Structure 1
């Protein structure tokens, strides 16, 4: 049976992640409060950020930016970063 969580991003009970996907306290918070569906949404958004802003995951400043955006995307009502010329599909 799948592990269920009360997903704070989706505002409903949904299938939880199978394992920690991020280290540290933020990773624990994600594991306990974010569903697979919401995490997949973040991965898609993160890919867009990496590509459009030409970010490198090995650059400490870029990682800090991505972590801030991840927290915003998953846990906040604040609008996550989008490129100036972003057009929703």
Structure 2
């Protein structure tokens, strides 16, 4: 994108307002297209943090098909459902120790 082009905007499903969108679909297939069309760049950053937590808490290997399927399900819930569920034993950083 060049400096004279306006930023692409989307009606963000997470924030319920018009916001700058992603530059390209962040995930393959229909889910990636849906995210690209209706998730803001800011909401995607929130998801990236949630995804890291999910991968770490469940000790997932991102290259494994089972991990990719779980992440895709959690992503769909995070953006288009009731929100992704936290792992059962998850303790937020500020509550640890």
Instruction: Tell me the TM-score normalized by structure 1.
Output: 0.90
- Shift in Å, 1:9: 1.1
1:56 aligns with 2:61: yes
- Structure 2 equivalent of residue 82 of structure 1: 86
CA deviation string 1:13-33 (max 9, x = no partner)? 100001111111111111100
- Structure 2 equivalent of residue 6 of structure 1: 11
Which structure is higher in RCO with an 8 Å CA cutoff and minimum separation 6? 1
Over the aligned positions, Cα root-mean-square deviation in angstroms equals 1.3
Unaligned stretches of 5+ residues in structure 1: none
From the CA coordinates, give the structure whose radius of gyration is larger. Answer: 2
**Count of aligned pairs between the two proteins:** 88
Unaligned stretches of 5+ residues in structure 2: 1-5
Instruction: Tell me the TM-score normalized by structure 2.
Output: 0.83
